[in-house]
Amino acid sequence: MTIKGSCLCGAVRYEIAGPLLAAGHCHCSICRKAHGAAFATWAFVTPAEFRWTAGAELLGKYPSSPGQERCFCTKCGSPLAAMHGGKVGEVVVGSVDGDPGVRPREHTFVGSKAPWYDIEDTLQQHEEWPPGMKP
């Protein structure tokens, strides 16, 4: 199974040689601002299975929190991935081309969610990181 993804303009592309792992909606203020939305949907990946296939020279990286950098296309601005300790450990599910093969299982950081957004589904909600999920 190979999962492919790309930015809005298609200049930056990636492949994952295995399945996406747990996916969830993050409501932290950093994700909201980086994505311009009520939340961002992320999925964990096995770092050794991830590789940039095109446009690596167009990647921008922003150190959003200690030990973590957010990767985005400097041409179109699309958020793509998060690096933990220098390796991609998460991808933005919206950047996956086609069916990602996973579905979000929870909402994280609901303690800082946008006050104008009401969560109306039945997924689990966590004030911060759920047990065992911190990268």
Measured CA to CA, the distance from residue 5 to residue 52 in angstroms comes to 9
Residue 119, token pair as written in the block: 């969560």
Q: Do you know the residue count of the chain?
A: 135
- Domain that includes residue 77, residue range: 3-125
Q: Residue 18's domain is classified under what CATH number?
A: 2.170.150.70
Q: What is the total count of domains within the chain?
A: 1
pLDDT digits (tens, 9 = 90+) for 67-90: 899 999 999 999 999 999 999 999
What burial letters (b/e) apply to 98-135, b meaning 16+ CB within 10 Å? eebebebebbbbbebbeeeeeeeeeeebbeeebeeeee
Confidence of residue 130 (pLDDT cuts 50, 70, 90): confident
Q: Is residue 131 part of a domain?
A: no
Q: Is residue 134 part of a domain?
A: no
Q: Is residue 132 part of a domain?
A: no
Which residue type does 129 have? W
